[in-house]
Amino acid sequence: MSEFGVSVDRLIVVHDDLDLPVGQMRVKFNGGTGGHNGLLSIILALEAEGFYRLKLGIGRPEPGQNVADYVLAPFRESELDSMNAMLDRSVDALQCLVTQGPAEAMNRYNQRVKD
């Protein structure tokens, strides 16, 4: 980022989120890791938390299921339609975030997805 003169507040990180139901997404600025090791790695490397995140909901594992195993497992057949729809919306959300700004992206895409 420093090589290209890009400030941290211009970064957008797209990542999975256990705290959002499958198919739901959230645009957010700043914050901690929420236990996400990938975010921890980015924050430690940048020495900053002030970047945008597009959080893609993957839901929580069943009680007793290992979180790492859950995150790395393929999606269930019953989740595929929701995941594909969310991925399509995520492209639109990123485009909106870049072209129309964070307020519009958050207003438009930080809504509950109805089953």
Residue 35: per-residue pLDDT: 87
Give Cβ neighbours of residue 45 (< 8 Å, ≥ 6 apart): none
> What is the residue whose two structure tokens read 């940048």?
46
Tokens describing residue 78: 């019953």
Name the β-bridge partners of 95. none
Tokens describing residue 57: 């909901």
Task: Give this prediction's pTM.
Answer: 0.89
Pick among 1.20.1510.10, 3.40.50.1470, 2.40.30.10, 3.90.180.10: CATH of 8-109: 3.40.50.1470
> 36-59, pLDDT tens digit by residue?
999 999 999 999 999 999 999 999
